Amino acid sequence: MTRIVFAHGLEGSPDGTKATYLRDKFGAVTPWLGEFNLDKQVDALAQAVPQGSDAVIVGSSLGGLAALGFAVRHAKRTRHLVLLAPAVGMHRHASVSPEVELKRPGLFEQSATFGALSVPSSIRTTVIHGLQDDVIRKEDVIDLVERSPSATLLLVHDDHTLSMSRELILHVVERAVSGMPL
């Protein structure tokens, strides 16, 4: 059975909305990533994905960056990557959100490095991004998809939370688990 792992965002948790519906529908594993820097978030995801497995990794916002970092470091353990409003371009918020940097020193610098990564070509990837997202710029997400040949972008009429796109997210994860194309 394919393991599904959900990486929550900066304001999310293992008991948040997306984590809960992915756990209820698919039995997703939802590790705590809250106080860690991105490198430690990748390590936490690595602990959630056993050696020799090929997981579907779903990452939301900052968790999307951690999921991207995991896929780059552990491509053989990643069957499919589903990035929900991935926080590429998060470093642009450093001047308007200094409290984040105080709580998690170095996060903006790390996010710039992670946001410049590309998805390994061996990993099928689906990126879902809201056209009304006022946190992460659509252009930054498009740049990620353009430099990642195995990635498909789905732009939806939604905001950063993707709360109106729940059924689409469930459909994408279900297809990823089955190995079927969208």
pLDDT score at 94: 67
Q: Is the pLDDT of residue 153 over 90?
A: yes
Any idea what the CATH number is for the domain that residue 125 is in? 3.40.50.1820
pLDDT score at 96: 65
Give the residue numbers spanning the domain of 168. Answer: 4-178
Q: 3-state SS string over the chain?
A: CCCEEEECCCCCCCCCHHHHHHHHHHCCECCCCCCCCHHHHHHHHHHHCCCCCCEEEEEECHHHHHHHHHHHHCHHHEEEEEEECCCCCHHHHCCCCHHHHHHCCCHHHHHHHHHCCCCCCCCEEEEEEECCCCCCCHHHHHHHHHCCCCEEEEEECCCCCCHHHHHHHHHHHHHHHHCCCC
The residues that bridge with 130 in the sheet, in sequence order, are: 156
Each residue of 59-95: pLDDT tens digit?
A: 999 999 999 999 999 999 999 999 999 999 887 766 6
Residues 86, 142: Cα–Cα separation, whole Å: 11
Indicate the pTM of the whole model.
0.93
Instruction: Indicate the number of domains in the chain.
Output: 1
Each residue of 6-59: pLDDT tens digit?
A: 999 988 899 999 999 999 999 999 999 977 789 999 999 999 998 888 899 999
pLDDT score at 95: 65
Q: Is the pLDDT of residue 3 over 70?
A: yes
Q: Is the pLDDT of residue 155 over 80?
A: yes
